[in-house]
Chain A
Amino acid sequence: MMTSLLAYLLIPLSSAVIIQFLKKNDKLADIVSNVSLFAGLLNISYLIFNPQNVRFSFASIADNGFSLIMVLAIYLIAFCVSLFSSGFIPRTKNKHNFYSLLLTGVAAMCGVVISLDFFTLYIYAEALAIVSLAMICYEDNERGAEGAVKYFFLTLPGSVFILTGISILLFTAGTFNFLNLQSIANSGPMSTANMVAVAFLCIGFLIKAGIVPFHTWLIDAYQGAYSPVSAFLGGIATKVSGAYAIIKIVMIFKLFESTAGRISEALMLLGAITIIWGAIAAIRQKNFKRMLAFSSISQTGYIVLASGLGTPLAVLGAIFHLFNQATFKGTLFLNSASIEKSAGTTNMHKLANLENSMPWTTWTSIIALLAAAGLPPLSGFWSKLVIVLALWEEGAKGYAFLSLFFMLVTFAHFAIIQKKIFFGKKAADGEKSREMPVFMLLPVVLLSMIIILAGIFFPHVYSFLMQAVTRNML
């Protein structure tokens, strides 16, 4: 574990425990959850963005920059979900339990990103899986239960494969530690046995990331889950338990240049298939949340494709896209929750013309959708551009064209959603909807601001990520 970042794990964990003693008082639970997450967010933001660091192009950041930006993303999304939930969840629903689960989830995610060996990483990823399971079926209905069951059983093979990989690693390399493994990988061609371990690790985390054809659990889980939970899962949880680990493996083993070129190729191929399948399947969905789930899969495909390529530039693009996806999918899932609450449905055929009744929800969604589609100068444009450039540079021109083409298909998602939900002719359910209170709009406004700012200040983001990547891949 990185001890310097341990506080980010311990504080939410203790808050989660404290909240259990505040059963009678929901207001206090609201405050404890939001304040502890907000304090963490401020703290990590200052750690990264204080003027001193910005001035020296982040060269003075001592810790692992990749972990820092992941902690930032975790706290950002968790805080937004928590703030949103304080307005969203009615009193009758045992709010304190939700907060406890959320904070435990934050602690587990921080554990994943600050761990320094695969075993610890696996333990925290499993903890996160259990918390997610409980959160998906938080709302006591059939769909939630179905989603939870599918989540549990269909990701189970993933856990098994990871465990297999780790066990093989223990026998062949004799260590789980990232640094030791990295030095082994750097010292020369790796043994076949090690490669088998890496292959198992990769497939395990691919299943957890919801990559096609292992994405089946993800759709039902996202759609069936209680709405703020969808934002939590779609925004950050699956990214941390899946995509983060993939990027980490790529950084450590440098698959593309070693003997394990096949794994790297497999990653790229699966990434490309995911991009295509997710984007196409999203087109004809009737339910907003289900469509977002497919779109989310497609976006994760970009991350896996770039990690498969594995050059520093590609990894940089993957990390930035991971962060961006957290912000825009967070925004969209939170807004889908708002729409569900306000209009009573997320069925796109029953919704229309929310522009007038819910202007803030509409415009933040538009920003997020455009960022997802890669419209300059929003953040999503830069991350996809970096990925496409990296692919082009390495001569993977087919993949580069494919990525570009499916950016257009993502624009089609935007076109469909904007017409069916936000603009277009008025519909009965859209009529009665009302804008959410300020507290529930603050999170999405914050996230959209970040989408815009991360795009405008991309040069700074780039220099930060470059530091992180070069330090990790040395």
Chain B
Amino acid sequence: MNILLIPIFLPLFTAIFILLVSEKTKYLKEVAAIMASFISFLSALTIFLSSNIIAYSLPWAGYSFDFTLKADVLGKLALLFATGVSFLAAFYAAGFMKKRTDSAKWFFFNLLFTGSFSSGAVLSDNLLTMLFFWEGLVIFLYTFLVFAKGGRNSGAIAMKAFIINAVANLCFLIGITITGFIAGSMNMTEIHAGKLAVSGWAFAAYLLLLIGIVSKIEGMPFHTWMTDAGADGANSTFLAYVPGALDKILGIYMLVRVSIYLYVLNGVVQALIMTLGVVVLLFAAMMALAQKNYKKLLAYIAVSQSGYALLGVGTMNATGIAGGLFYALNNAIYLFALFLTAGSVESQSETSNMAKLGGLWKRMPATTLVFIIAALSISSVPPFNGFFSKEILQRGILEAGYPMFFAAVELGSIITLIALLKLGHSVYFAKETETSLRCKESGMFMIIPMFIAAILCLFFGFGAKIPVEHFLEPVLSYLALEHARTIAGFQMGNLLLISVAGIIVSIISHVVGYGITGKPYKATDYLLYAPVLSKIYRMAEHKVFDPYEQIMKSSVWPLGQFFSKLDSLTDYLTFTLPSFVSNSLSKMSQKFHRGSYVLYMTITIIGFLVYMAYVFSFGGIK
């Protein structure tokens, strides 16, 4: 038995087991889910620590339709983080799901299947195997959202998520088909041996793959389902686990895999990815400013974070890619932690409306602490982990020669900090409200995963050398990216000074905003009424930037009319007419099959004669 199969098949079988038995037992599903995800994590750790490349191959149908797994350096790293967050999410859900009305059984089922399929996606060495797991994840995304009955429109949002991802995945599928066709192989190791240059059909293939990847990391314009889900009150564990952590890991893994491992990019594509990254980063961060809902604000922050990773990989130099990867890893930690604090607060107060919350630090000190650490990390305040990933990223951008984008990154982290200052202030430190009076600290099952994530934030910050040396350096050397400078560590210099200046700007902005309105949750309102911004926000409120809603509004109704006409025609042609014909024929045949022996015998004899005549006539036998 190959160890690579454990993180894929153990959660799979456990999920089916949970579905079969959990009705009659009380804690079995929690125990089984935690155990299965923990064992997957341990095996991922073993795979990570082993020095040689583990591979597994099961020939299936030939013609490169093989089930091939390979844990190379990049895959190993993604697997370690994916199984890690799966374990923490299962642990957290054991506490969180107790208070929810939606079915815990289906939640764990979805969680384990998602974990299993994401392990499969990062381990696959064959593009088709990878595609199977990658597409499978969309199904569980849908079921996750559908079964989270907390929200009012969970069904509609699930459908929205499904359609958006299905369209993007269709692009991904076409991209993979073209890639396999051009390369003449579906095996990634073989394609890597002769990397594809981005031109002609390969360019189209790469762009299609990029669409799939950007949709996976909830980059714009594929993010809308996630922010809707945040506003609608979707399950916080789900938000933390899938769009918060896992999708970022998978998406960035795939981005690096495709952009560096399979393709050789040129300047045009590079500029395209970086521009996309900056747009995502700034726009989503700005949208976060306007939010007054805990989870929706975090959802926009999560979208903006994916911009950093795009930007990092887009630089195409070792430093920048290291920064982008580091962002993806840190993202998985602090976004996860932030969404978990949202879940913790929500499970006590039953709301995530910032106006209704306040002064929770007295009643929920542990949650508050985790929030502070994670918020400071995500706003790249030194010396938390976010700062180091930002620093490395900015160096990479300067190396690539895009000082404008450097400024954009700085601006992004300033806006993020403003948004989080508003959030933290209003939820944890403002005056207590009626709702917050009934809150108390969450249970151990929820506290422990939050703390683990917070500790990792600190650890990756103060000891930034360790992840850089053990996680990023091996990947860089595996991808054969040459780099001279050491890229880790805390260095006094211009970058630090700029960051500190950015932090000061953010704090001033918050104080000013708070001073004007007197309510912490309105601290950013003065920005919203700024000349150009106000228009953009109004448009965003009317969902102008949501292609899904736009397409639904503008074209679905006329198309619906057209299809309904077409439908009644095809209905007549394919149903009414054929069933009339076949029914009458069938009736005729019934009349014929009366059971009369003489008739039957006659037909047999006639049939024989006709057969013989056919065979022996018209020069049949020469």
Binding site for B on A (CB under 8 A): 146, 149-150, 153-154, 157, 161, 189, 192, 195-196, 199, 203, 206-207, 213-214, 216-217, 219-220, 259-263, 265-266, 269-270, 277, 280-285, 409, 412, 458-459
**B9 CB → nearest A CB, Å:** 16
A216 touches B605 (CB 8 A): no
The 7 lowest CB-CB distance pairs between A and B, nearest first, are A262-B620, A284-B586, A216-B600, A281-B589, A213-B607, A459-B61, A283-B586
B27 within 8 A of A: no
Measured between beta carbons, the chain A residues less than 8 angstroms from B611 are 199, 203, 206, 266, 270
Considering the chains assembled together, what is the distance between the CA atoms of A214 and B609 in angstroms? 12
A157 touches B604 (CB 8 A): yes
Considering the chains assembled together, what is the distance between the CA atoms of A153 and B583 in angstroms? 31
Considering the chains assembled together, what is the distance between the CA atoms of A283 and B586 in angstroms? 6
B583 touches A213 (CB 8 A): no
B622 within 8 A of A: yes
A203-B612, A261-B620, A266-B615 known; A157 vs B593 contact (CB < 8 Å): no
**B439 CB → nearest A CB, Å:** 46
Q: Which residue of A lies closest to B620 (CB)?
A: A262
Measured between beta carbons, the chain A residues less than 8 angstroms from B582 are 280, 283, 409, 412
B612 touches A199 (CB 8 A): yes
Considering the chains assembled together, what is the distance between the CA atoms of A458 and B61 in angstroms? 8
Considering the chains assembled together, what is the distance between the CA atoms of A89 and B583 in angstroms? 37
B615 touches A283 (CB 8 A): no
B603 within 8 A of A: yes
Q: Supply 9 A–B pairs (Cβ within 8 Å), ascending by A.
A: A161-B608, A199-B611, A199-B616, A216-B604, A259-B622, A281-B589, A281-B593, A284-B590, A459-B61
B587 within 8 A of A: yes
A459 touches B604 (CB 8 A): no
**A55 CB → nearest B CB, Å:** 11
B562 within 8 A of A: no
A154 touches B61 (CB 8 A): no
B437 within 8 A of A: no
Question: Which of B604, B615, B616 has a CB less than 8 Å from the CB of A213?
Answer: B604
B586 touches A157 (CB 8 A): no
Question: Which of A207, A219, A261, A266 has a CB less than 8 Å from the CB of B593?
Answer: A219
B194 within 8 A of A: no
Interface string of B142-171 (1 = CB under 8 A from A): 000000000000000000000000000000
Question: Which of B62, B586, B621 has a CB less than 8 Å from the CB of A459?
Answer: B62
A214 touches B607 (CB 8 A): yes
Measured between beta carbons, the chain B residues less than 8 angstroms from A153 are 597, 601
Beyond known contacts A213-B603, A265-B614, A281-B589: 19 more, CB 8 A cutoff:
A149-B597, A153-B597, A153-B601, A192-B621, A199-B612, A199-B616, A213-B604, A213-B607, A216-B599, A262-B615, A262-B618, A263-B620, A269-B614, A280-B586, A281-B586, A283-B583, A284-B586, A458-B61, A459-B60
A259 touches B61 (CB 8 A): no
B61 touches A262 (CB 8 A): no
B585 within 8 A of A: yes
B597 touches A157 (CB 8 A): no
Please count the residue pairs between chain A and chain B whose beta carbons lie under 8 angstroms apart in the complex.
Answer: 86
Q: Which chain B residues (557-605) contact chain A, with CB distance < 8 Å?
A: 582-583, 585-587, 589-590, 593, 595, 597, 599-601, 603-605
A216 touches B608 (CB 8 A): no
Most chain-A Cβ atoms within 10 A of its Cβ — which of B585, B593, B608? B608
Measured between beta carbons, the chain B residues less than 8 angstroms from A189 are 622
Measured between beta carbons, the chain A residues less than 8 angstroms from B614 are 262, 265-266, 269
**A157 CB → nearest B CB, Å:** 6
Considering the chains assembled together, what is the distance between the CA atoms of A196 and B621 in angstroms? 9
Binding site for A on B (CB under 8 A): 60-62, 582-583, 585-587, 589-590, 593, 595, 597, 599-601, 603-608, 611-612, 614-616, 618, 620-622
Q: Do most interface residues of chain A lie in helix, strand or loop, or is the interface mixed?
A: helix
**B266 CB → nearest A CB, Å:** 40
B615 touches A199 (CB 8 A): yes
**A109 CB → nearest B CB, Å:** 24
Measured between beta carbons, the chain A residues less than 8 angstroms from B604 are 154, 157, 207, 213-214, 216
Q: Which residue of B lies closest to A260 (CB)?
A: B621
Considering the chains assembled together, what is the distance between the CA atoms of A206 and B614 in angstroms? 15
Measured between beta carbons, the chain B residues less than 8 angstroms from A277 are 589
Considering the chains assembled together, what is the distance between the CA atoms of A409 and B616 in angstroms? 34
Considering the chains assembled together, what is the distance between the CA atoms of A261 and B414 in angstroms? 83
Q: Which residue of A lies closest to B596 (CB)?
A: A216
**B109 CB → nearest A CB, Å:** 20
**B424 CB → nearest A CB, Å:** 53
Measured between beta carbons, the chain A residues less than 8 angstroms from B606 are 213
Q: Which residue of A lies closest to B619 (CB)?
A: A262
Measured between beta carbons, the chain A residues less than 8 angstroms from B618 are 262
Measured between beta carbons, the chain A residues less than 8 angstroms from B620 are 261-263
**A86 CB → nearest B CB, Å:** 29
Measured between beta carbons, the chain A residues less than 8 angstroms from B600 are 150, 154, 216-217
Measured between beta carbons, the chain A residues less than 8 angstroms from B589 are 277, 280-281
Considering the chains assembled together, what is the distance between the CA atoms of A148 and B604 in angstroms? 17
Measured between beta carbons, the chain A residues less than 8 angstroms from B61 are 458-459
A157-B605, A283-B582, A409-B582 known; A262 vs B621 contact (CB < 8 Å): yes
Considering the chains assembled together, what is the distance between the CA atoms of A419 and B614 in angstroms? 42
Measured between beta carbons, the chain A residues less than 8 angstroms from B590 are 281, 284-285
Measured between beta carbons, the chain B residues less than 8 angstroms from A270 are 611
Considering the chains assembled together, what is the distance between the CA atoms of A258 and B82 in angstroms? 63
B621 touches A216 (CB 8 A): no
Considering the chains assembled together, what is the distance between the CA atoms of A214 and B593 in angstroms? 12
Q: Which residue of A lies closest to B614 (CB)?
A: A266
Measured between beta carbons, the chain A residues less than 8 angstroms from B622 are 189, 259
Most chain-B Cβ atoms within 10 A of its Cβ — which of A189, A217, A260, A280? A280
Q: Which residue of B lies closest to A458 (CB)?
A: B61
Question: Which of A149, A157, A269, A458 has a CB less than 8 Å from the CB of B608?
Answer: A157
Measured between beta carbons, the chain A residues less than 8 angstroms from B62 are 459
Considering the chains assembled together, what is the distance between the CA atoms of A161 and B622 in angstroms? 22
Question: Which of A214, A220, A263 has a CB less than 8 Å from the CB of B615?
Answer: A263
Considering the chains assembled together, what is the distance between the CA atoms of A464 and B590 in angstroms? 42
Measured between beta carbons, the chain B residues less than 8 angstroms from A284 are 583, 586-587, 590
Considering the chains assembled together, what is the distance between the CA atoms of A261 and B608 in angstroms? 18
Considering the chains assembled together, what is the distance between the CA atoms of A192 and B622 in angstroms? 7
Considering the chains assembled together, what is the distance between the CA atoms of A175 and B567 in angstroms? 63
A263-B615, A281-B590 known; A220 vs B595 contact (CB < 8 Å): yes
A203 touches B608 (CB 8 A): yes
Considering the chains assembled together, what is the distance between the CA atoms of A199 and B612 in angstroms? 8
**B403 CB → nearest A CB, Å:** 55
Q: Which residue of B lies closest to A192 (CB)?
A: B621
Q: Which residue of A lies closest to B606 (CB)?
A: A213
Considering the chains assembled together, what is the distance between the CA atoms of A412 and B578 in angstroms? 11
Most chain-A Cβ atoms within 10 A of its Cβ — which of B599, B600, B601, B605? B600
Q: Which residue of B lies closest to A216 (CB)?
A: B600
Measured between beta carbons, the chain B residues less than 8 angstroms from A265 are 614
Measured between beta carbons, the chain B residues less than 8 angstroms from A261 are 620
Most chain-A Cβ atoms within 10 A of its Cβ — which of B587, B607, B612? B607
**B19 CB → nearest A CB, Å:** 16
Considering the chains assembled together, what is the distance between the CA atoms of A281 and B597 in angstroms? 19
